Amino acid sequence: MDLFIGLATGVLFGAALYLADAASPVKMRQMLRLEDLTVFKIILFAIGLSNVLLFAFNMLGILNLSHLSVKTMHLGVIIGGLIFGVGFGMVGSCPGTSFAAIGTNVYKQALMIAIGGIIGALIFSLMYGNFEAMGIFKSFNFGKMTLFRISDKYPSVTEIGYVGLLVMGVVFMAIAWFMPDKRRA
């Protein structure tokens, strides 16, 4: 059953990334140069909608809280995010979009990105012990912290519950809606 769900959600995710133009490294690089913000708008609106839907699922009592998965905040998120930005800006792709692009006309570039990524993951695995010894995962560690109280499992910044996600989601969608698509390069 899990494998079937994996297949179905993977296909939908890949199709959605393609439709959002996120599978096109050219479009993504235009977005990152702030020349064409369409992809950014789509992703921001999508995140906002998912915030609202999470609120709705919880209100309807159909959200299984054990499905939530919040990642730990630590120094690795900051350093890793900055390093990620270098590769993201260079190539205009990221792990998910490079896989979506394997199914499209830019498959050659996409496969090369994926191969580079697998080598990167392997080198990271070999170095993980050193990073751990340096205490990267222990510094700036705030645990699996969330902005709003979505589960007793996670510490939260505020005591506001799912309604916080609703408000944030609406704000994200509004920003996306009113954001201009294009700017003069």
Partner 1 sequence: MEMNGNSHGWVFKAIFLGLVFAVSVLVIKPVGVSTQFSMIGGMIHSVIDPSVITEDSSRKSGYRSTNAYYDKSEGSLAKDIKNPLNFAMVFLLAIPLGGFIAWSMDPNKRNKMAQDALRVSGPKSAFEKYYIREILGGFIFVFGARLADGCTSGHMMSGIMQGSISGFVFAACAFVVAIPVAKALKKLG
Near partner 1 in 55-114, by CB under 8 A: 57, 62-64, 67-74, 76-106, 108-110, 112-114
Coil, strand, or helix at residue 73? strand
Number of shown-chain residues binding partner 1 (CB under 8 A):
121
CB–CB of 54/74 below 8 Å?
no
Distance CA 74, CA 142 (A): 7
Residues 117-146 that bind partner 1 (CB under 8 A): 117-126, 128-129, 131-132, 136, 142, 144-146
Nearest approach in angstroms of CB 75 to partner 1 is 9
Choosing from 135, 163, 168, 184, the residue that interacts with partner 1 (CB under 8 A) is: 168
Rounded to 5°, angle at Cα 155 from 153 and 161: 85
Residues 15-54 that bind partner 1 (CB under 8 A): 15-21, 23-24, 26, 29, 32-34, 38, 41-43, 45-51, 53-54
Measure Cα distances from 93 to 59, 97, 119, 163, 183 in Å: 36, 6, 16, 33, 21
Nearest approach in angstroms of CB 14 to partner 1 is 3
